[in-house]
Structures are given as structure tokens and as C-alpha cells.
Structure 1
Amino acid sequence: MNGAVVAGVAALSMGTYAIRFSGPMVRQRMKVPARVTRLLEICSIVLLTALASTLIIPAGGHRAGFALPAGVLVAGVLAWRRVPLILVVLAAAATTALLRLCGVS
């Protein structure tokens, strides 16, 4: 590997560790109001919904069919029911794959 690449990876990993470490340290010193915490939770839900929505819309103008939105719908229902994330991902992938295997593109 190139020395610059190794230095870049090391700098990014140290920066990531510093950011993750500073979270609990700042949390102990600052009091975040309950309303701000609630708004941040709502914002994360909105961002995840927007991400899921962009994944449903096909890129490049081709038709995606029904399989992909069905998989996303299964994932949404399971996530709403608070199923563990790995099971949500596996169920969504299995739904999409089975529908495509059955000829539903």
C-alpha cells in the first residue's frame, strides 16, 4: 500500500474514534432538553423514510416492477413491529428474491 493511503486511513480512523469518544463525554457535561431529543428522534425517522423512498424509485429510467417495493414494504412493516434489524434485512431480501424468482420483476 502507498504510504499516503495508510496515513489517510489512519487519520480518518483516529478522527472517527475521537468523534465517537466525544459524544458520551459531551453528553455528561451538557443537558439536552427533552424536546430537542424528541425532535432528533423524529428527524432520524424522516431521514430513514426518505432513504427508503429513494431506493424504491428506479434509477436510470428503467422499470423496477413490483418486487422491490414489496420488499421495502415488508421491511417497513417488520421495522414498525420492532423486529431485529438483521431479520428485517433478510426478510426484505428474501421477499424481493422470491418475487423475482416467480417472475414478478
Structure 2
Amino acid sequence: MTLSETQVWLLIAALTVMGLLVKGIGPAFVGGRALPRRASGVIALMAPALLTALVVTSVLSDGRQLSAGADTVGVAVAGCLLLLRVPLLWACLAAVVVTAGLRLLVG
């Protein structure tokens, strides 16, 4: 399934509005009371989940189908380094070097 540029921007706008509505309407219905713990947890995890979905589809897709390439390996290297508690700047730099090296080798 390929989306046109207009469809992609409409999808981004719809997701933005949905996120704003959930964050705005929830507290309005609850009033001055604190949100239930479970609802707070879901709301707090929405943004990271959407960001993760966008990154995964961006990294693993070439526009028409799923694929893995040098950029996928670079993101994996950065992710592994971040899990090992390497500073973000060094993880990004390593990802850039690995990606560029693989592209140079492959062609």
C-alpha cells in the first residue's frame, strides 16, 4: 500500500488531532479529580508509541515494501549502543559511520 504525499500529511494531521483530543477531553471529563492511574499510563505512552511506529515504518520501508538496508543497520547499531548506556551523541555518530561505511562498501 502506497500513500500519496497528501494522504501522508492527512494521516499525520489526523493522528495529531486524535492525540490532542485524547489529552484534552480526558481531563475535561474528569474535572478537577486526578485521572485514574491506568488512563494516565495509556495517555503517557501514546506519543512514544506513535513515534516508534513512524520510525519503524520509515526505517523498514522503501516506499513500496518492507526492506532492510544500510540505514536499518545504522539504526540498530544506535539502538544497541543506547541500550548499553552509551551517550546519545556517540550512538548517533556510530550510526552515521556504520551507515556511511555500508553504503560505501555496497555501492
Q: TM-score, normalised by structure 2?
A: 0.49
* Larger-Rg structure: 1
